[in-house]
Amino acid sequence: MSEKIAQLKELLGEVADLRQVQNVLEWDQNVSMPPGGSEARGQQLATIGRIAHEKATSDQVGKLLDDLKQEGLDPDTDDGALVRVAARDYDKATRVPGAFVAKQAIAITKAFDAWVEAKGKSDFSIFHPHLEKVVELAQEYISFFPPAAHPYDTLLNDYEPGMKTADVQEIFDHLRPKQVELIKKVNSSKQVKDDFLHKKYNEKKVWDFSEAIITKFGYDWSRGRQDKAPHPFQTTFSVNDTRITNRFEADNPLATLFSAMHESGHAMYEQGGNPAYERTPLAGGTSLAVHESQSRMWENMVGRSLPFWEHFFPALKKTFPSQLDGVSVKSFYKAINKVESSFIRVNADEATYNMHVMLRLEMEIGMIEGKFAVKDLPEIWNAKMDEYLGIVPPNDAKGVLQDVHWSSGLMGYFSTYALGNLVSAQLWEKINKDIKDLDEQIRKGKFDVLLNWLREKIHIYGHKYDPQDLVQKVTGSKINSDAYVRYLTNKYGTIYGL
């Protein structure tokens, strides 16, 4: 290792430590912090964030990167990838002036408070001026970067490096009509029965069952834990300490099982990272979409499959004999895959979920292009919901105000949720080619061959390859919707007898 690489790693190692410390502070905020702790925690996070930013954008880092770029390292080596990723991060961080970051932070705090109020009162007019501000700030942010094919590219790139707006639009244009058609077919079929999912289930037993499942998956408890929090999420303090949170909702009790599978999918991706990448920008997943491909695969391809429940249903029935009395594994499988157009994205089933995402992407692009006025958003939202899902929200709280993202200044993020679904299906087809008896293994509750495949093909590479390159390398194609359409058509064709 060259002296300069060593120096760069030392400097970036400090930044990585600070970022992980931020994660610890945020985890505690969500999991343990008493209400009184809030103000000081904000201060602590701001201090750590400021120091991390100073260190990440120091002239010393810039100089080392310039020198190292001259060396023309082989981009396929770890050092080559490190310099490429670090230089991109550095460029991004130094382009955005500190004054803008501070201004944005203040605007977002206000926007968030306004959103909470607006959602509570279901009154878009309260959020409207703040959302206009958020859009303006996003446009200003874009202005710090060289012009791209589409202004939205800059936002998208923060979450999906290397991805273009046009690529996503093409993918979604291909997917949209097929998914709309599928939903229409399902809607005209006989609905499945799922009343037994909404009976009273004991929280502790559900929680324990969720842990039994992800233990079988291969989530490593010596390097993680599951805690209760207002929202399920996964966070990383190091490759050897990646934690998940979960919740229990009495009216949807078994959702806890699927959240655990989902978050453990994220966590196993992080646990499978290359230890040599620790404290460097190569650590962690390569993009939100690839991350989401892991969580959605464990949750849906595995956890909502028939073979999976052929293994686990007897134990579930033994744990909840009265709730599941007379329910067959097939009825259970159908119930957990029930398709129903609904207003809320986070509660949407597999078949309708992407429609929620595509709708938001169109909104964001429209706002960034200035094609949609923010004031018209509720109307456009409702029209799209009608077009895509055949339903219209009764109010804005269940419509345009439902998601936190915009109020937190996040623009460019949403499409990664749908892209993750697509990638999960592309990987799943490849995995099933490579592991011929995968269904049989799952039916036996055996997941080690699957997890090892993911570790070897995806997890170990961390941030080394950009998402499109990684998907291409593993599946032979770039991100596209073909596999996902086949997956949905096949799955729901069987369930709904289409």
Question: From the list 37, 147, 314, 370, which residue makes contact with a second copy (rule: CB under 8 A)?
Answer: 37
- The interface region with a second copy, picked from 29-37, 84-92, 147-155, 248-256 by CB under 8 A, is 29-37
Element (H, E) at 238: strand 234-238
Residue placing its CB nearer to a second copy in the complex, 19 or 360: 19
Does residue 28 interact with a second copy by CB under 8 A? yes
Q: How far apart are CA 265 and CA 459, in angstroms?
A: 11
Question: From the list 7, 30, 44, 202, which residue makes contact with a second copy (rule: CB under 8 A)?
Answer: 44
CA 175-421-181 angle, to 5 degrees, is 30
Examine the residue annotation and report whether 263 is marked as an active-site residue of this protein: yes
Does residue 203 interact with a second copy by CB under 8 A? no
Question: From the list 2, 6, 47, 369, which residue makes contact with a second copy (rule: CB under 8 A)?
Answer: 47
- The interface region with a second copy, picked from 34-42, 66-74, 386-394, 415-423 by CB under 8 A, is 34-42
Question: From the list 150, 279, 356, 463, which residue makes contact with a second copy (rule: CB under 8 A)?
Answer: 279
Secondary structure (DSSP) of 380-446 = HHHHHHHHHHS---SSGGGTTTS-STGGGT--S-THHHHHHHHHHHHHHHHHHHHSTTHHHHHHTT-
Contacts of 144 (CB under 8 A, 6+ apart): 95, 96, 97, 100
Name the CA radius of gyration of the chain, rounded: 23
Does residue 225 interact with a second copy by CB under 8 A? yes
Q: Cβ distance 8 to 64 under 8 Å?
A: yes
Does residue 17 interact with a second copy by CB under 8 A? yes
Element (H, E) at 246: strand 241-246
Size of the residue set binding a second copy (CB under 8 A): 39
Nearest approach, Cβ of 247 to a second copy (angstroms)? 18
Q: Which of 160, 211, 263, 270 is catalytic?
A: 263
Does residue 67 interact with a second copy by CB under 8 A? no
Q: Cβ distance 399 to 359 under 8 Å?
A: no
Contacts of 6 (CB under 8 A, 6+ apart): none
Residue placing its CB nearer to a second copy in the complex, 208 or 387: 208
Does residue 212 interact with a second copy by CB under 8 A? no
Does residue 241 interact with a second copy by CB under 8 A? yes
Token duo for residue 388: 């895509």
User: Tell me, what amino acid is at 198?
Assistant: H
Instruction: Please compute, for residue 391, the number of CA atoms within 13 A of its CA located in the half-sphere on the CB side.
Output: 17
Residue placing its CB nearer to a second copy in the complex, 8 or 418: 8
Nearest approach, Cβ of 270 to a second copy (angstroms)? 12
Nearest approach, Cβ of 200 to a second copy (angstroms)? 24
229 phi and psi angles, rounded to 5 deg: -155, 165
Catalytic residues: 263
Interface with a second copy (CB under 8 A): 13-14, 17-18, 20-21, 24-25, 28, 32-41, 43-44, 47-48, 51, 220-225, 227, 237-241, 243, 278-279
